[in-house]
C-alpha cells in the first residue's frame, strides 16, 4: 500500500515539472504607441500647406487674453486669391480650410449658379472674446479662440452683391442655390457649419469653425 501511495505522489509531482522540450511561452511583444505630432511640427506643416496653396500669410505670436480667450498658432491671411474683408487672427487650421473653401467650392458654385466669379468676400470677423451666441453663461465661443469665421456676403465680377440675409430665402433661385451649395461645402470643409436655418442669430451669415464636430445646420 505504501509503495502505491509513493508511486501516485511521484506521478503527480512529475506532472507539475515542465518538460525540457516544452519551454515556457515568451511574453507577447507590445507595439510601441505612436506619439502624437508635436504642436510646433503640426504648425510648421500647416504653414507649408498654406504656402503650397499659394496663400500669402503672416504668422502671429501666441496670445492669451482675459476670460480664457486665446489666439494660439494663429496667422493673418494676406492674400488667398480673392480679397476678404475684416479677417483678423485665425488659427492656422482654420485659415487653411478657409482658403481651400474659397479657392475651390465657393468659386465653383458661383460660376455654376451665377455665371460669374467672386471678386470679394465680406467677412463679419474671426477673433472675438465672447461666449457662444454672445449670451452670458454659455461656454466660450470658438471665436474666443480665433478658431471661427463668419461670412455675410459675396461680390461678383459683374457688380452683383449677394448677401446671406437677403438671398437665402430671396426670390432668385440661382442665388438661393449658390448660397446653399456654399454653405454645404463649408460643412464639409470645417468641423462646424451654421447658417440661417440654425437659429435666428445666424439669419444673416454663415458661421464656420474648427471646434468639436461634425455639425451642420
Q: What are phi and psi for residue 201, nearest 5 degrees?
A: -70, -15
Cell 461656454 locates to 139
pLDDT above 60 for 8: no
Classify strands 192-194 and 215-216 as parallel, antiparallel or unpaired.
Answer: parallel
Cell 442665388 locates to 175
**Which residues pair with residue 206 across a beta bridge?**
151
Digit-coded pLDDT (tens) for 15-51: 443 444 444 443 443 444 545 456 789 999 999 999 9
Digit-coded pLDDT (tens) for 170-214: 999 999 999 999 999 999 999 999 999 999 999 999 999 999 889
Amino acid at each position: 500500500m505504501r509503495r502505491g501511495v509513493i508511486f501516485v505522489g511521484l506521478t503527480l509531482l512529475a506532472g507539475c515539472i515542465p518538460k525540457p522540450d516544452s519551454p515556457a511561452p515568451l511574453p507577447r511583444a507590445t507595439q510601441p504607441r505612436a506619439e502624437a505630432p508635436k504642436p510646433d511640427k503640426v504648425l510648421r506643416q500647416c504653414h507649408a500647406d498654406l504656402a503650397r496653396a499659394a496663400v500669402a500669410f503672416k504668422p502671429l505670436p501666441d496670445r492669451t487674453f482675459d476670460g480664457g480667450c486665446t489666439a494660439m498658432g494663429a496667422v493673418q491671411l494676406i492674400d488667398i486669391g480673392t480679397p476678404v474683408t475684416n479677417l483678423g487672427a485665425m488659427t492656422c487650421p482654420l485659415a487653411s480650410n478657409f482658403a481651400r473653401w474659397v479657392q475651390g467650392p465657393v468659386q465653383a458654385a458661383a460660376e455654376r449658379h451665377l455665371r460669374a466669379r467672386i471678386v470679394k468676400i465680406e467677412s463679419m470677423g474671426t477673433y472675438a472674446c465672447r461666449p457662444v451666441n454672445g449670451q452670458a453663461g454659455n461656454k466660450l465661443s470658438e471665436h474666443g479662440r480665433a478658431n471661427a469665421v463668419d461670412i455675410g456676403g459675396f461680390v461678383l465680377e459683374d457688380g452683383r452683391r449677394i448677401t446671406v440675409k437677403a438671398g437665402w430665402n430671396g426670390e432668385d433661385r440661382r442665388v438661393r442655390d449658390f448660397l446653399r451649395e456654399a454653405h454645404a461645402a463649408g460643412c464639409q470643409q470645417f468641423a462646424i457649419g451654421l447658417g440661417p436655418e440654425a437659429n435666428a442669430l445666424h439669419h444673416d451669415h454663415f458661421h464656420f469653425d474648427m471646434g468639436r464636430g461634425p455639425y451642420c445646420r
